[in-house]
Structure 1
């Protein structure tokens, strides 16, 4: 493990030449406090120089580091050079394990944007024990996957505890958003489907609601909502459809509960859906989204149709333009009932395309929290989630950055 005095950077953005990496670099250049030593890392120095030249003035003298996920020596040197590494290099199952392993061994705090269950499971199995020994916080899912979900349930549990209302029992998130897809997101889905084709047994892992539990055998086994199904309607009349990110976000929230000794409640039942509105239009939209998701996943899972989709879907390294990103938004409403029957509602919301503009804020503030707020963070190390590694410190940072995180009794 490198001593802190030997580290030349406080924070490195790895994958800075990619679509989301550029957005993250730009956010940090505009919001990191003066004096934070930030560097940009990637495979090509020429492309890194191009990214740096396009940053606001505060980022134009940042150091550049050449590193490649296929070169262990370069990754070791990168991890040992910095206190925090934020990586946007995906698909993580394909490129991420050597990066998180290098950080675990070096005692370097780590944050990523993964939405891949299999990667988080594998990273935990390989790196948790090492990171605990070296003092590294390895924080997965630091973007729209899965910060709004993870922090909202944390805040609900804290409010219920403060009110003496007991643990959380029935919790459901209804997501509404306006945003687009990047080639990187599509590539991550493609990589996961390819893994399933190579090893069909992995279907059981993905279908397990407690797949990311650190102690699967100890899980109370509370019945959990289905990740996908038919359109449904909430008690107050809102139509909903399956939420594309539910299969990942719900596992992260349940992992947070288990990492904290099931502090949210051993009977926590947690699900996520997408809100589509009220009345006939809401019902029609819910049906269209449900059919579209089923068709897209089926097409991506079959080689001939996947080839056709590859011709029209965004290529890796591309994504929504600036105007589209600025028009985006997200709003997550999380309703909870506690063990004594009390009801609470959490709201997480923000402006900007949720997967890109808002995600750059989330990952940027998570990385800054790891770099600057060490003495205020929960005293955990190892393979963690945003709620367990960063907790209410990150909530404070995101509120200051313009995002909404609030809980009310209902």
Structure 2
């Protein structure tokens, strides 16, 4: 048989597309053929990202797209509608796309479909066509283990079958090898959203069609998760291959790097909440005034133009003179910069892996999904970060932000543990590469 031909099918949001794209570039460097499927809506972002990187991406990866069926007037923040519409529209069109791809290169037909969460239906399409399938999970192995435990937890009576809420005990232990966690840290416990829980309950049945569950993590970071399923395969840290890849699909403001070069070592507070979450106006104000109170240099990512931070106005008393505020930035370059001191993060898995890989201490500000579980690891298991306390209205006040930033900047033990964890993760690349070869060889069979 020829080289493996992978068809990558990510759920079309940045938090899924970015990591799967990075993984596909690594597979391409290993000599595999890659076709990357996006929605028509995100195709232009992919094209402009590849154009901005000297065509490096398109020389490795063939980009194709299908409509996702979401009308221009529909609200893309309505995840339930977007998920159902995408599944129903793309599913019907995928067999023809595969047929066309195979006709173009009959010696290297699609041999394996790789999906992310919400796209398990493509594994079913592949199975009907006799094509192997694998899941690429853009979050932690522990969060995948938790979703895979839903049916067992329901059967045991630990959680409610309709909404995933705990029936009695507010702590859950997914296995004897995993830490005890608050029920609220389970990734389906997102804003009490029953839709997401019921969707994932069904989705896990179909994701089990994938023979491998590939995770951008290392055995050492969350060893307990790997005892929960033989399908789980740690292939991280993918970031260790970064010199070969593009950095992001978002439009980055690189002026902050020149500004960083002028700051003292370990002095800059980096604040970013990823591509999906945003602060409410009163919380935005508290954070702005906390950054003033600290009187330290900072880089703050405030996204504009996508409806997420549009309503947030800087308080009139906000000076911001110590810092640099940008719409989107090259995060990995900021985290590995010697001037960066700490990372105020939403604790999404991509950000968590990047912060850990560069040895940067965290201040954890999770919002929902797997972010609360990641915070448990950062603060309680690895002990490389601190959380914030909210007041009775659920606000993190400026004084609390100031106090925690100063605490972590002065904590030599956390800095030491961050450096040790960094060394451990870098050393794990050898095992990740071994697992990657194992996966590629399986796809060739």
Q: TM-score band, normalised by the shorter chain?
A: 0.3 to 0.5
Q: Which has the higher strand share?
A: 1
Q: TM-score, normalised by structure 1?
A: 0.34
Q: TM-score, normalised by structure 2?
A: 0.32
